[in-house]
Structure 1
Amino acid sequence: MPKLSTLPTFLSALVLTAVVVSAHEHHDELSEEEATAPVDTILWIHMGLQALVWGILFPVGMVLGITRSRWHVPLQSAGFALTIAGIVLGHSHKGRQFLPSAHGVFANVLIILTGWAMSQHAQALEISTKVHTTFGCTLMLAGFSRIVEICFVPSKYSDASNRDDQSDNTLAESTPGYSSSDDGKMAAARAFRHLPPILLVASGILLMSATDEALDYVHVNGMDHVTYLLIMFSLAFALYTLILTLIRLFSTTGRNAQSFSTTGNNIELASPRSPSKWYAPVPRDDTTTHVLGPDEDD
């Protein structure tokens, strides 16, 4: 509750905000010209700016905040400033206008359906049926690949021994606990683990892009379902790349940043700030040099 001394200021700010909101132009009814007008440059900048801020800057800033990086505050401050600029641009655009429902007053509630039900769900348009079928098959493939990963893909091979030369942080020639063919299996297992999450991301993108409005727009513009699905899968790969980048950023910044330097062979090198506990030069003892020549008699 504001104090008595600040009450007039608070009421003045509240009235000014109400005046600004009431003065904003709303479109309860649109003419055909307003609904089909081209999107102007300001609106394109508004959409691109909001996508950049909410899709990249804020997630990266969140990760930097978790790792307590010094770049967290500047990045989030820039994100808030760009958000305010995007809101101003959103209220300043010309050209095409939108009904209040187009902005989404309430968040849409997504109904979770199984892959089989979605793949067999009949639609009014053929392209809609194709997209829903692909979504269902992708979701089923994601579940099947996850079952295969749990049942048949090993998480890690155990070493045969626990000796010092088995450490990744030593210069000694290590004796592998498994054959070279197992190295290929581990590489294949690491690659296979990316399949379930990328399929789940693709399923989510396909689900959100399979609305009646979006598919009707695609159908009116004459785009076939293959082109539309390839675009959605490309967006899924881009989103998955962003997710992996954020995970990598979490493990390498702030308090999670490594305090030592490494080479390409994962050999730790000593640094002035944090000497390595695994490797240090061995002091060289003085050795007696034998000189060839006649032996001296005692």
Structure 2
Amino acid sequence: LTFHILLQLISWGILIPIGSILGINRSSLHPPLQLITTLLISLPAISLPHLFPSESYSSNAHSKLSTPLTLSLIGQLLTGIFLKTHTLERTTLRLGVRIVHGVFGRCFPILSWTQFILGGIAALGFCFGSRTGQCLAHFIMGSAFIGYGLTLMLMIQYGQSWLRRHKTSQDHLDCWVITVWGVVNTFTEHGVFFSAGWNWSHKDMQHTALGAFWALTGLLGIYQSRNARRSIVPGLIVMISGWVFQSHQQSIPFSTKVHGSFGVTLMAAGLIKIIEVCWDGSESSLSTKRQRRSNGIREMNAFDHITPLLLVIAGTMFMSSTEEQILLILKINMDHSTYLLCQVSVGSMIYLYFNLMSSLYRSTRPLDDQDREVDQNLSYSKQQKEEENDDDDDEEEEEGKKFEIRPGAGYQPIGSNLINS
């Protein structure tokens, strides 16, 4: 089992993401890396548990997901080999194979993350029976916060030109996602379209009200952020949601403290996002302010990292606050501060992983025509600024030569016939 987990982490957590990034950038290292990863690591890692007696591994969601995961991996390999042969160029069949190959590659991050989560649940024996619903809520919501943090980080670095081309803002997109999420949450927490009857539990009322808050406040943000305007509404929604979660009373005091820390982290993330919008100094995201670019990609400053990092940490905390996890922590006599430090460490490690993958993409990304134009404009602007500075220095030097210092006479124009008496 340990060898199986190690192989899965190496293949699906490291090598396959690296291969996908190289494939996006059309690197020559993409085909051999994916081939080696598939044949030598991924497929053995998936099939390893089946080599042991079946009674050692009960059927669960983790084992059932391995079949579509294996098929997608094999499909990715076969379509990649077909594309590498360069047969049937400029045909509809080749175009379809290329689309399928791209879909497989883009599904890997979601499938890998889901399989990792299900693997941890299966190893600990959680989320069976009546606890399944609570686990789904925590892991889906926690993954959503982590995904939101990742999306913000990527959009800050790579999405600014896309936002300008489509004349929209990140806040507008955020509000649409929040609104849709709120509508789904409102009409599913107490049964689909409130089909669970008239008896509402405490948590049903809490979660339904929270969904309505997201939906209606999201609509306000959609209106305010129209025409590529910035809006504080997404940050305000995150901050108020954190306050709500921080106020949630749980059946176990330890769990209440963990939920409270999660809520405070969300409140901090929302507040920083509001400050970022106000600090931008312009309502329009079309502004070129703070658009320092390298190779056509915006450089993130220290302040830009705060909100995505806090969202990732908050998502990690929420995923680790199910009732069964809390009971397990209580059994080993760990206090809540130590447990939260562990979650912050895991969240920081996840964010580090995001940054490493982003740096790899940036370092292997080829320059296209638009990027070359941006770099040329930046070089021209820098050269022009240096020439202006040189001209200013020359003017000051010429101005200084018009005067000379004579003892007892102060500054005297050069060539004057003033004679010291």
Q: 1:77 — aligned with what?
A: 35
2:17 to 59, 66, 83: 59
Deviations 1:34-71 (A, max 9, x none): xxxxxxxxx11211221222222222222111111112
> Which whole-Å CA distance do the structure 2 matches of 1:141 and 1:216 have between them?
28
1:124 positional shift: 2.3
> Which whole-Å CA distance do the structure 2 matches of 1:102 and 1:123 have between them?
28
The higher relative CO (CA closer than 8 Å, separation ≥ 6) is in 1
1:62 alignment partner AA: S
1:232 alignment partner AA: Q
Q: Could you state the TM-score of these two structures normalised by the residue count of structure 2?
A: 0.40
Deviations 1:236-292 (A, max 9, x none): 1111111111111111104249xx9xxxxx99xxxxxxxxxxxxxxxxxxxxxxxxx
1:128 alignment partner AA: S
Aligned: 1:211 with 2:338: no
Aligned: 1:249 with 2:360: yes
> Which whole-Å CA distance do the structure 1 matches of 2:290 and 2:50 have between them?
58
> Which whole-Å CA distance do the structure 2 matches of 1:97 and 1:215 have between them?
26
Q: 1:4 — aligned with what?
A: none
CA 1:60–1:50 in 2, change beyond 3 Å: closer, same or farther?
Answer: same
CA 1:256–1:193 in 2, change beyond 3 Å: closer, same or farther?
Answer: same
1:143 positional shift: 1.2
3-state DSSP class of the match of 1:91? helix
1:97 positional shift: 4.3
List alignment gaps of at least 5 residues for structure 1. Answer: 1-42, 160-167, 169-186, 261-265, 268-298
2:264 to 127, 132, 137: 137
> Which whole-Å CA distance do the structure 1 matches of 2:324 and 2:258 have between them?
13
Aligned: 1:50 with 2:8: yes
3-state DSSP class of the match of 1:194? helix
CA 1:67–1:100 in 2, change beyond 3 Å: closer, same or farther?
Answer: same
> Which whole-Å CA distance do the structure 2 matches of 1:190 and 1:224 have between them?
35
Sequence identity percentage:
36
Q: Which has the larger radius of gyration?
A: 1
Q: 2:76 — aligned with what?
A: none
Asked if structure 2 preserves the Cα contact closer than 8 Å seen for 1:115 and 1:136, the reply is: yes
Aligned pairs for 1:99-248 within 5 A: 99-101=58-60, 103=62, 108=136, 110-111=140-141, 114-153=241-280, 156=289, 190-248=301-359
Q: 1:178 — aligned with what?
A: none
Matched residue count: 192
CA 1:207–1:195 in 2, change beyond 3 Å: closer, same or farther?
Answer: same
Q: Could you state the TM-score of these two structures normalised by the residue count of structure 1?
A: 0.55
Q: Which moved more, 1:74-83 or 1:110-119?
A: 110-119
CA 1:149–1:158 in 2, change beyond 3 Å: closer, same or farther?
Answer: closer
CA 1:158–1:214 in 2, change beyond 3 Å: closer, same or farther?
Answer: closer
Q: 2:47 — aligned with what?
A: 88
2:279 alignment partner AA: F
> Which whole-Å CA distance do the structure 2 matches of 1:158 and 1:220 have between them?
51
> Which whole-Å CA distance do the structure 2 matches of 1:127 and 1:80 have between them?
43
List alignment gaps of at least 5 residues for structure 2. Answer: 66-113, 115-135, 142-180, 182-209, 211-240, 282-287, 373-377, 380-421
2:44 alignment partner AA: A
CA 1:157–1:200 in 2, change beyond 3 Å: closer, same or farther?
Answer: closer
> Which whole-Å CA distance do the structure 2 matches of 1:70 and 1:157 have between them?
35
> Which whole-Å CA distance do the structure 2 matches of 1:102 and 1:122 have between them?
30
CA 1:102–1:133 in 2, change beyond 3 Å: closer, same or farther?
Answer: farther
CA 1:123–1:156 in 2, change beyond 3 Å: closer, same or farther?
Answer: same
RMSD: 3.5
Q: 1:285 — aligned with what?
A: none
Which runs of at least 4 in structure 1 moved beyond 6 Å after TM superposition?
A: none
